[in-house]
Amino acid sequence: MLNNDAKKFINSQDVSKFMINRLTTRFILITLCATFVSCGSEEKEAGSDGFEYWTAPSIELSRFEKDVVDKWNSTHKETPIDWKTIPAGTTSEEVILTAIATRTGPDVLSNVFGGFAAQLADAGVIVALDTLPGFWDVAENRKMANIIRNNWFYKGHVYVMPIYVNPEMVWYNEKMLDKFGITELPRTYSEFFRLLEKVCIPNKIYGLTADVSSKWFRRWFDYLTLYTSASGGKPFIDVDNNEAFLDSDYGIAVTEFYYRLFNEGYAPRFEINDGFEKEVFFAALKGAGNIVRIKRLYPDLKYRIAPMLVPDDYPEDAPVYTLAESKGMVLFESSNKKDKAWEFMKWYFSGEHDSLWIALTNYLPAREDLTSNPIFTSYFDDNPDAKLYANMMDYIIPHVLTAKTVEIQTSLNRELWQPIIFGVKSPVQASRDANIAIQRILESGPKVIN
């Protein structure tokens, strides 16, 4: 006969067993329910008439996109847009790749740079937009047909609708200019260095901001910008003929410029955050997108903006070109709402939104009539610095379209930029090494052997 403690023990064992069985059953039921619910929601989404649109996770851009999407949704109730900013990640490109690989990507995506679009085009995941009805009408109406013809063709097709351009110009600290009585801004490298001899104080006041990091995309904003100006707007590679031109006279001139800058102490070999804004640097290369940010964060900073510096032998009467970050919109092949998404893209680029775009984002719309179209007049009257950038529109060169952008610019970093900063290679050697390495990348197929 069992005593009371034993009975309690057996009862407690039964209760435990019962509880565990119940918990296990519940767990299985919940898992099954979750699976069915998720399957159900997928079907619902697929059955919806709307489509998904992803944009850059920036406050300014989001303000514009929200406004535009609201407008579309209120007038196109039959095809609502599910708008999202690109989820957080190291770079937008990596997040989008993950989304494509897991088939959770959008129908339409904005904020795509040319090199990434080329990768997507090579993989066959984005639509050649010039094959869609009304493409050139949209381009003509928005006054961007020439911009597209000259810069956005990739392997015979156009995959990106260009939204904006962000060209680089040189900013000079006005306080330092006044202090040294400098009235005329430098045009050539020699004129610039002559000023630096006056203005710079060793380890205290530097000459020109230059990013010392190895991040591949940073070379757009220093070396490649000056290269574009030095070459008279010619690209540093010819993708069609697998040629690189870094060892050209102008390529070597740019390398020599940076070599002197770093090795004579006019640029530090370490990062200084917001160095120009904190008045530690005399000059900086900056895009139009910086104007509003600097006004907000450094309202007391006074500066003057000028065209890019050029080599000493650059013809005085020749126009000075500059490189511009340029981003646009793509349509995915995986979309099962392509027609509706294309209708949205045509509406988006109809031109009526560009005055709102520039007012909210301060990025220049990619169109040829910025200075002549009255819809921008009041903006440029209020923002004369931005007009200096708009005046450069005819001399803006966007990034080269190649699917090998990352490899090429990583190689540029390794063979040229980093050795120049630390003076471990001569400018000629660095230019030649980078040229050979990049030429090899251009000639090679997908990576197997380095």
Partner 1 sequence: MSKYPGLGLVSLYVIHTIIFWLYPFLWGVVIAFKRWNIISPDKEFIGLSNFIGVLYDPLFWISFKNSLYFMAVYVPLSIVSALGVALLLSRIKFLQSFFAVGYLMSYISAGVAYSIVFSLLFSGDGLINTWLSKINITIPWFSDPDIAMASIAMIVVWKYLGYYSLIFLAGLQAIPESLYESASIDGASERVKFFKITVPLLNPSFTIVLVFAVMLSFNIFTEPYMITGGGPLDSTQTFVMQIYHQTFTALHAGYGSSFAIIVAAISFLFVYAIRKTVERDMA
- Per CB under 8 A, the list member of 34, 123, 297, 318 interacting with partner 1 is 123
Could you tell me which of 284, 228, 236 has the C-alpha nearest to residue 396? Answer: 228
Give the closest residue to 93 by CA, choosing from 213, 216, 196, 187.
Answer: 216
Residue 26 binds partner 1 (CB under 8 A): no
In 30-180, at which residue ranges do the beta strands (DSSP E only) sit?
51-55, 81-85, 108-113, 153-154, 157-158, 161-173
Backbone angles phi, psi at 287, to 5 degrees: -90, 165
| Choice from 132, 145, 239, 272 touching partner 1 (CB under 8 A) | 272
Count CB-CB contacts under 10 A for residue 281: 26
| Alpha-carbon span 169 to 173, nearest angstrom | 13
Q: How far is CA 335 from the centre of its chain?
A: 24
Binding part of the chain for partner 1, among 89-97, 225-233, 284-292, 380-388 by CB under 8 A, reads 89-97
Q: Is 406 in the site for partner 1 (CB under 8 A)?
A: yes
Q: How far is the CB of 72 from partner 1 (least distance, A)?
A: 28
Binding-site member from 56, 61, 69, 97 for partner 1 (CB under 8 A): 97
Task: Candidates 4-12, 252-260, 285-293, 411-419: pick the segment binding partner 1 (CB under 8 A).
Answer: 411-419
| Structure tokens that stand for 322 in this block | 């500059």
Give me the residues paired with residue 287 across strands. Answer: 168
- Judged by beta carbon, residue 9 or residue 136, the one nearer partner 1 is 9
Exposed/middle/buried for residue 400 (C-beta within 10 Å: 0-12, 13-18, 19+):
buried
Using CA atoms, how far residue 386 sits from 107, 209, 250, 350, in Å, is: 33, 21, 29, 23
| Per-position x/- string for 237-266, each x denoting binding to partner 1 as judged by CB under 8 A, each - no binding | ------------------------------
Q: Rule CB under 8 A: choose which of 176, 407, 432, 438 binds partner 1.
A: 407
Q: Does 213 bind partner 1 (CB under 8 A)?
A: yes
**Which of these ranges, 64-72, 159-167, 309-317, 406-414, lies near partner 1 under the rule CB under 8 A?**
406-414
Count CB-CB contacts under 10 A for residue 367.
Answer: 24
The reply to whether 296 sits near partner 1 by the rule CB under 8 A is: no
According to the binding rule CB under 8 A, does residue 449 interact with partner 1? yes
Would you count residue 372 as binding partner 1 (CB under 8 A)? no
Q: Which residues bind partner 1 (CB under 8 A)?
A: 13, 17, 20-21, 23-24, 27-28, 91, 93-94, 97, 100-101, 119-120, 122-125, 203, 212-216, 268-273, 280, 406-407, 410, 413-414, 418-419, 421-422, 424, 446-450
